[in-house]
Amino acid sequence: MCKIYIGADPILYESRTRALRIHGVVTTVRLENLFWDVLQEIANRENLTTTQFAVKLYDELLALRGEEPINFASFLRVCCLRYLSTSAARTEAAGDAPQGKGFQPKVVKAG
């Protein structure tokens, strides 16, 4: 069982920092490459760039909570996991889940 997890390409769990401009303020967010890939997938579905999507999440969280997120990187990771888990649940409920398949991240080059 663990072979599925330990066999992951190391580039997927390598961290990468990106600068995001949120309402004129540049902030850096450090996430593992796999999370950046998932965020890009979600953003593409919304017809947004990854940065636009992150800003939209930031704004919606701020509107809901009334305060700036304390740990935005952790929030983004949770968003990715919620997206993947709800996608998997929908696929399973529809009976479309191929055996042993799921989200297949693309491999990104560090840099």
For residue 26, what pLDDT is reported?
95
Q: Which residues are 27's β-sheet partners? A: 20
* Domain count along the chain: 1
Cα 104 to Cα 33, 34, 45, 67, distances in angstroms: 13, 10, 16, 35
Percent of the chain topping pLDDT 70: 85
Find the mean pLDDT for residues 53-60: 96
Tell the residue number behind the tokens 């929030």, with chain if given: 75
Find the mean pLDDT for residues 14-19: 96
Q: Is residue 52 part of a domain?
A: yes
Q: Is residue 105 part of a domain?
A: no
Is the pTM for the entire model greater than 0.75? yes
Q: Is residue 41 part of a domain?
A: yes
As a three-state string, the secondary structure of 6-18 is HCCCHHHHCEEEE
Q: Is residue 103 part of a domain?
A: no
Q: Is residue 74 part of a domain?
A: yes
Q: Which domain holds residue 77?
A: 2-94
The CATH number covering residue 50 comes to 1.10.3990.20
- Identity of the residue numbered 25: V
Cα radius of gyration rounded to whole Å, the chain: 15
76-95 pLDDT, tens digit per residue, is 999 999 999 998 787 778 87
DSSP track, 32-101? EHHHHHHHHHHHHHTT--HHHHHHHHHHHHHHHHSS--S-HHHHHHHHHHHHHHHHHHHHHHHT---TT-
Q: Is residue 65 part of a domain?
A: yes
Neighbours of 22 (CB within 10 A): 16
